[in-house]
Structure 1
Amino acid sequence: MVVVTTIRRDVMTLPSAELGPSNPLPPLRPLDEAHRVDDRDREALPRDMARQIGYEPLRDVLPERVRDGYGRHRTSRTTDTIVIENDRLRVTVLPSRGGRVASLFHKPSQRELLYRNPVFQPACFALNGAWFSGGIEWNIGATGHTTLSCAPVHAARVTAPDGGEMLRLWEWERLRDLPFQVDLWLPDGSDFLHVGVRVRNPHEKPAPVYWWSNIAVPERRRVLVPADEAWHFGYERRLRRVPVPEHEGVDRTRPPRADLPADYFYELPDGQRRWIAALDDAGEGLVQTSTDVLRGRKLFVWGSGAGGRRWQEWLTEPGTGGYCEIQAGLARTQLEHVRLDAESEVTWLESYGPLAADDASARTVHGTDWAAARAEVEDRLERALPRADVEAAYAAWLPHADTEPGEVLHAGSGWGALEVLRAGHKPAGTPFDESTLGEAQAPWVELLRTGAFPEPRRVGPPGETLVAPHWRDMLETAPAKPLTEYHLGVAQWHAGDVAQAVRSWERALELAPSLWPLLRCLAVADQQAGNRERAADRYADAFDDLCRERRDDGAVWTAAMAALGRETLAALLGVRRTAEARTVWRRLRPVIRERGRFRLIEAELLLAEGDREGARAVFDAGFEVADLREGAEAIGVLWARLTDEALPARYDFRMRPPVTEWRADPD
């Protein structure tokens, strides 16, 4: 009996860490420094690649906030899901976590086609912090994991091209100020999930666009792709062309054989069908294919080294099978951004489904003849889902991309509604209703309607700052009140106008009832200018002001104290003002001092005070830095200052080859 495709709400229960509050300090510096190309390699790159690598990289992640309030204590929690199902596939989507596809289950074979993480454990991999592994994520914005990784998106039912039901996900991506949508549907009786994607630029200027669909699959697979060359990029930040499948005597299409974490961005010839597959020893597994606009394909491996294995454990739980990532993107590499012209859009279709095999096919897929292995997979893909059918599905979907949604299944943020209210945008098919406007958007609505930014009704950390040119213009013409000047300075900083930002913050200091947010911003400006002593002074004054102003021990004030305390301690220790750092340490709330991040800082403080044994005792007692950044080496740097002993496995998160000297690491 054919089961008609259905869409329904459900819940999923997992051991989960709490996300906690966002960092209330505006992120004036980027978190991610790992995905930058060494200057030595730029001249040798193809011209278009070099141009796109240099096309408007991020200065920071404004207007977003950093999400670093999570820990590593997990309890059983439920989260809302949306399930799309026919008689062949069951697709589980997480609308509160970026619309990620958590599961793609093939019913006839009783196989999970993705790597499905058995826990929800945030870690510091997204552009703005919190990210989790597993499933299929939709990465839009800039090089790295999207800021929407742990954020809600809008979701609703829409009529599918075949007359059935389709799930639409949509949001307003804030780094590039662009709306996008992801339409998922399962034709009745189909083994393949179709995904139509549209990114729109409603503005009068071109915008840089980034998109990579990131698919986690079990690690013990062979990854096949129609390419003979790839661009290798590791955490030593070198980008170089290498052969596929074998490089330096190792078959790099088999993830467990890699030594260190690395990306392989494949060179697909023009005219070649776009696809990538991850197949097990029996030659079975997942294949992803798309229309040609989605040109790039990639493999990410964790490697067999201690650091890569430790990260695998960190993101899930010990004893869980490892995973790798196969990906598909708009450019050849994730280091690039492509241009989207003013008032235009880019669209494409992706398809995800299973590939089966017999014994002969499996032997070919895993054989040493790479050309034969590729041809075998492409032939099986053509039989399972012809290229012409993908093109036909895309053509059938396009007229439905503007279809207005029906039943709303989940609400995203109110930021899109604010932009629609400001500019009168009416993006067909993706309504951003005024009903979604909330407390975060309220002062900006008032600025829009009255021309004045409201002063706060109660004392507390400032809200989020909007930094797009149109909002900056409104702040510049608004009455120059302290909070307005604070937000204006943040917007000017984001635009690269450091001198004006500093002037705005200094003007605000004269009348502001709350000094610490301004002093902290000025301290960051001092650090960037190389004035570390004055930065330390301002940080110390800011922390002192925060301690006087704090009204309670609730989550918001605790987050503010933790964020400012961490930066203040780093600034003071950086100029060897150890006694002042100890004073700041004592004023931190005990619940903050107990966190793993602050245990690491405590060890550094003890070492600076000359108490080597005390610092070593912190390591021996054990700690976990929940928000340890991808590629960060802070733990290893401090350990190397303490002892010549090998770094204990529990602290080994190294993602690049050993170096003679540990580099300084601000994290």
Structure 2
Amino acid sequence: MTSLYRGQITLPVAPLGPDDPLPVPHRLLENPFELGANLPEQIRHGASFGRPRSMHPYLLQNNYTRTREPITLPTVVMDNGHLRATFTPTLGGRLWALADIASGRELLHANAVLQPANLALRNAWFAGGVEWNIGTKGHAAHTMAPMHAARLTGPGGVPMLRMWEMDRLREVVFQIDAWLPADSRALHVYVRIQNPGEHEVPMYWWSNAAVPEAPDVRVLAPATTAYATGYDGTISEVPVPVHNGADRTFSTHSTDAADYFYDTTGTTHPWIAAVDSSGHGLAQVSTARLPGRKLFLWGTGPGGQHWQRWLSPDGPGPYLEIQAGITATQFEHVMMPGRTNWDWVETYGDIAADATRAHDEDWDAATTHVAGRVDALLPDAGLDAVLTEARRGADRAPEEVLHRGSGWGALESLVRSRSGQQWIADDGGTPFAPESRGEEQLLWEALVGEPRRGQELLAAADPATPPASYVVGKFWEDLLSSTAPGWLRDYHLGVLAHARGDDQRAEECYRASLADRRSAWALRGLAQVAAGRGDHAGATDLLSDALALADDQPTMLLEAMSAAIQAGAPQRALDLAGGAPREVRSMGRVRLLEGFAAHAAGDRDRAEQVLAEDIVIPDVREGELALSDLWAAVHPGRAVPERYDFRMRHP
């Protein structure tokens, strides 16, 4: 009999902290890749569109440290006597753990700590479990944010967990239904994306499972070729399993970090599995809507191993990732028509294979055997029948609310009802209750529902306090334009124009905001526009003025120092750092820029002193080489110390 209940886990956590109040309307954190000429036209076409200008209106999550403290997190647990699945609705609905009860074997990399790191589209991300990614390439905006969650009755009468949210980037609603059928040895997951609008949108989805890595773990999928990235900025087609003289399906055979996107063309039910020397490990299989399969590995080089320890400092050991997506690679989007739903079923369970056969050097024999074991995990009626049954309950209203997510879906429901635009049914399977709206939605809710009160809130806003949140799109631009001018109205209009790439209009609005009342936020907006046209000296002046009004904003100081260095004025960058409050100027990333500025200014002693003090940057970026680059610049010819080595390619 399957049970579903609330639980909790207590573990060392580095608290996320508040969102960075400074918007990023003009750039993405993800770097582009160069596609090789030998890639199929379908992949090249899918990679040619859909990349957003930025993640606006989301704010960055970058106010965390490397200091951890015991914190208790709420969970939702499902148990059918064979498997125990643990979900964390406050952390993007992550499947934290999936345990085989009889053996006690954990099929996932269940992290022993919660340590954010800078790998997501909003910066903060943590390693482990199964993560659900929507929108565009990268770890999704909601990955460290709460999801709506509820209990209801699922297929076969067993209890089911539903989690859902609105993706603000694409303005779609997604839901994840998870259940454990009685006597099943596989977790069933139904995913649905709803585009209720009139217009088509670029779409992206990848389910990302972290599993234990060891020399005896082999990753198999029904493919003989893969599209490989090597973190050198390129992607190309390679053979599977042997590439450059080594069997790359064993992740420990690779020195450098890499992605292998397996070509599963022609597979009715695509799958991927990680099999160790006992024959056990996680298998994932889905219906045809989810054809992509990927292996990600950090590599055995010093940088990759440092990343493993950085993400799981007290963890159960190293990990690799097996993933499933709606495209062949993660560089592509597909256009999702308006008023359309897309859905599929995924299952997760122990492959329970014959290790000798799964590790056979004969790749065809190995994959044929594992494919048979994948089939044994599926219900007798097959995955397509499970999908049909799941669809019948997709719009069934929740029976018990377990957790509240963000208030943005509820605000969108209000906006669309007032403007006559299509939206999902408020009494359907993914309701966004009005009571979920909070402080972040306060101004916007008032502007839509109580215009006079909204105008009062705009007029009363204190320019010394950063705005609580941002919006995007023509509806809001038109609505704000219909209200009386003022510093906050004009500032938001500037950010809206900036987000759609109209820098001239953005500059006009920022200047109008400053003419009404001076604020650090509008000055910074002008600085971003100036930097965008290459005027780094002008950006430095504007950011210096902004810091005089808001010297407690680390991001603003970092931008000012970076602009000064780019403007060829490293001493000014050093002066800016010296004038910041102690708690800001002592931050690792500020110290890093101080080191670069000192080196550029010819002050080698100061640069050496910075490096000698063991810089710790909690949000060092995946693929970022700044620490090792500074070391190499200051200490040419000397090996990069392990603490500064985050390189994903062996030099």
- Indicate whether the TM-score tops 0.5: yes
Deviation at 1:332, TM superposition (A): 0.4
Identity of aligned residues (%): 41
Partner amino acid for 1:573? Answer: I
User: 1:606 and 1:305 mapped to 2: Cα distance?
Assistant: 30
Q: How does 1:580-659 map to 2 (within 5 A)?
A: 580-644=572-636, 645-656=638-649, 658=651
Q: Could you report, residue by residue, the CA deviation over 1:557-588 in whole angstroms, capped at 9, with x for unpaired residues?
A: x4xx2111111111122223344333322332
Q: Could you report, residue by residue, the CA deviation over 1:198-248 in whole angstroms, capped at 9, with x for unpaired residues?
A: 001111100111100000001121001000000001211211100000001
The correspondence for 1:249, drawn from 245, 248, 259, is: 245
Q: 1:530: which partner in 2?
A: 534
Partner amino acid for 2:393? Answer: H
**Gap regions ≥5 residues in structure 2:** 418-422
Q: Does 1:545 align with 2:542?
A: no
User: 2:174 and 2:260 mapped to 1: Cα distance?
Assistant: 27
User: 1:106 and 1:321 mapped to 2: Cα distance?
Assistant: 19
Partner amino acid for 1:10? Answer: G
Secondary structure of 2:114's aligned partner: coil
Q: 1:501: which partner in 2?
A: 506
User: 1:17 and 1:344 mapped to 2: Cα distance?
Assistant: 40
Q: Structure 1 residues 121, 156: CA separation in 2 closer, same or farther (over 3 Å shift)?
A: same
Partner amino acid for 1:414? Answer: G
Secondary structure of 1:297's aligned partner: strand
Q: 1:661: which partner in 2?
A: none
User: 1:652 and 1:29 mapped to 2: Cα distance?
Assistant: 29
Q: Could you report, residue by residue, the CA deviation over 1:612-651 in whole angstroms, capped at 9, with x for unpaired residues?
A: 1222122122121001111111112211221111111110
Q: How does 1:18-37 map to 2 (within 5 A)?
A: 18-34=15-31, 36-37=32-33
Q: 1:343: which partner in 2?
A: 339
User: 2:645 and 2:70 mapped to 1: Cα distance?
Assistant: 28
Q: 2:305: which partner in 1?
A: 309
CA contact (8 A) 1:28 1:524 kept: no
The correspondence for 2:486, drawn from 481, 499, 517, is: 481
Secondary structure of 1:600's aligned partner: helix
Q: Does 1:167 align with 2:165?
A: no
CA contact (8 A) 1:201 1:341 kept: yes
Q: How does 1:20-419 map to 2 (within 5 A)?
A: 20-34=17-31, 36-38=32-34, 41=36, 43-220=37-214, 221-317=217-313, 320-357=316-353, 361-385=354-378, 388-419=381-412
User: 2:590 and 2:648 mapped to 1: Cα distance?
Assistant: 23
User: 2:225 and 2:165 mapped to 1: Cα distance?
Assistant: 36
CA contact (8 A) 1:95 1:153 kept: yes
Q: Could you report, residue by residue, the CA deviation over 1:401-453 in whole angstroms, capped at 9, with x for unpaired residues?
A: 00000111111000000001111333320000100010110100122124555
User: 1:231 and 1:387 mapped to 2: Cα distance?
Assistant: 34
Deviation at 1:84, TM superposition (A): 1.0
CA contact (8 A) 2:260 2:295 kept: yes
Deviation at 1:388, TM superposition (A): 4.5
CA contact (8 A) 1:31 1:128 kept: no
User: 1:116 and 1:125 mapped to 2: Cα distance?
Assistant: 18
Q: Structure 1 residues 374, 648: CA separation in 2 closer, same or farther (over 3 Å shift)?
A: same
User: 1:567 and 1:602 mapped to 2: Cα distance?
Assistant: 13
Secondary structure of 1:597's aligned partner: helix
User: 1:304 and 1:247 mapped to 2: Cα distance?
Assistant: 16
Q: Structure 1 residues 292, 60: CA separation in 2 closer, same or farther (over 3 Å shift)?
A: same
User: 2:538 and 2:375 mapped to 1: Cα distance?
Assistant: 65
Q: 1:16: which partner in 2?
A: 13
User: 1:161 and 1:386 mapped to 2: Cα distance?
Assistant: 12
Deviation at 1:362, TM superposition (A): 1.5
Q: 2:444: which partner in 1?
A: 444
CA contact (8 A) 2:162 2:178 kept: yes
Point out the more displaced range, 639-648 or 224-233. 639-648
Q: Structure 1 residues 656, 474: CA separation in 2 closer, same or farther (over 3 Å shift)?
A: farther
User: 1:430 and 1:129 mapped to 2: Cα distance?
Assistant: 27
Secondary structure of 2:236's aligned partner: strand
CA contact (8 A) 1:24 1:563 kept: no
Deviation at 1:475, TM superposition (A): 2.2
Q: Could you report, residue by residue, the CA deviation over 1:88-133 in whole angstroms, capped at 9, with x for unpaired residues?
A: 1111100000000000001122210101111100000010100000
Q: Could you report, residue by residue, the CA deviation over 1:8-62 in whole angstroms, capped at 9, with x for unpaired residues?
A: 111101111011121111113434243x2216x2x54322212211122021110
Partner amino acid for 1:567? Answer: E
Secondary structure of 2:516's aligned partner: coil
RMSD: 1.6
Deviation at 1:606, TM superposition (A): 3.0
User: 2:290 and 2:548 mapped to 1: Cα distance?
Assistant: 52
Point out the more displaced range, 520-529 or 467-476. 467-476
User: 1:386 and 1:243 mapped to 2: Cα distance?
Assistant: 33
Q: Structure 1 residues 602, 530: CA separation in 2 closer, same or farther (over 3 Å shift)?
A: closer
Partner amino acid for 1:283? Answer: G
User: 1:410 and 1:319 mapped to 2: Cα distance?
Assistant: 28
User: 1:16 and 1:546 mapped to 2: Cα distance?
Assistant: 29
CA contact (8 A) 2:227 2:261 kept: yes
Q: Structure 1 residues 119, 318: CA separation in 2 closer, same or farther (over 3 Å shift)?
A: closer
Secondary structure of 2:43's aligned partner: helix
Q: 1:662: which partner in 2?
A: none
Q: 1:517: which partner in 2?
A: 521
User: 1:582 and 1:244 mapped to 2: Cα distance?
Assistant: 51
Q: 1:664: which partner in 2?
A: none
User: 2:483 and 2:516 mapped to 1: Cα distance?
Assistant: 16
